[in-house]
Chains A and B, each alone.
Chain A
Amino acid sequence: MSRRKTDEEYSKTRAYRFFKWLKGEKDYTPSETKMDMSLLIPIADASTTVERMQDKQIAKERAYDEHSNRLLKFFNRMYRIVAVMFCIIFGALLIYNVSYLPKVGAVDRPTNNEVPARYIEKGIEETGAVNIVTGMILDYRAFDTFGESNVLFVATITVLILLRINKDRSRLSPVLSEDDPGAGDSIYEPKDDLILQTVAKFLVPIIMVFGIYVILNGHLSPGGGFSGGAVIGAGLILYVNAFGFEKTEEFFTEKTYKWISFGALTTYCLCKAYSFFCGANHLDSHIPLGTPGAILSSGLILILNICVGMVVACTMYTFYVMFRKGDF
């Protein structure tokens, strides 16, 4: 029969500590243990700051002084020699290996097997895309492309987590001012550069139209969702640089990013979910493929291209905005 432990005994067991930790209680309170809460380095005025910088410089110079430290001298020399040797050997090895590769376009290449043969022979018939590459990546291998779009989305989320500036922080630290080159980036706006603005006025519409063309003609001509999206993203970045964040905030905010990414990825998933579910070789989407060569053809590929393009364009722009400003 188990005996109930006394409180004193129980407080020594691991279970007690575990439940205590689970509840969020701490073993000590800072006031009891008299923890030293004062700053280790007192906030210094400008003169001591300069002194400390000089001290740091002197310490650095002494630490890396080659004349008094023979081992360091030896190490520095050996480091250079070994680095150069390593580069040369590695490069030679790679070039030596390249000479064994089969020639470009040779018949007996190992990649020339039944898979590309089938793609080339039956690609247009089965996917309806004149551009075989797009037919491959958005029909035969649509699952891969879906994963890639999701990777971009996850990357953007990571950048948002890492680089987004909390707006309340500017209230806490009064250092943020336009005079300070370090802190001013979040409120720094591009200057009204006449040359840049004039060039952007001509170039941005052309870049945008080209990007849209590349996306919409992904199944007819070279390009596709990723290339077109990257072009549109680059155009947006140019626009921001020329005209400032105030102009872009009119049409692109955090909400826009959220809904475009969510909508595009969900549309992609819904379009292809049946195929993903039914296995690799399922291709019939029961959507008429149309005549190859027409813009409204090849079934779902056009929609998927637009989805991928939107995700990529938003990702590029969000990356830039986060790096530059830390907020939309």
Chain B
Amino acid sequence: MRELSVRHALSVDPVGVIDAIWSGAEWNSRWEAIRLFRVGYDDGLHQIAEITLDWYGALVRMKVVRFRTRPLCIEFFCPRPPHPLAHQSGSWSVENKDGKSFLVATRRIALAETPSESEGERELRLTNYADRLSERLSLILPRFSYSSE
């Protein structure tokens, strides 16, 4: 299991930012790698969605369950993680430090095992995936760090 965290400074209303991250429509309009973000259930606190996205040229599908644990925090896990992951969970939250607000994305990921792969090879593959995911998140966070109004 690998954990990673990426943050981006916020200068807009944090409530609006978290609301936008909760919205499937906002994902469709703000992040071009999204091909489909279909919300199957949403009661304001819990949500299940099917997502198809472009992952460095390959289309991957995932099922995600998201829930608002605090006003400025969305946690999630994937009953069906995107290939090649066996596990993905994490959060989107707003944190305050030294009088400044930051949008923070955290992830816990594990790769599906591949037959005949050594532990060292899998660790290297996990490191490469985590690097790409961090890069992705560093591109996504600014897309939600502005007001659409």
Q: Do A and B come from one complex?
A: no
Residues on B lying within 8 angstroms of A by beta carbon are: none
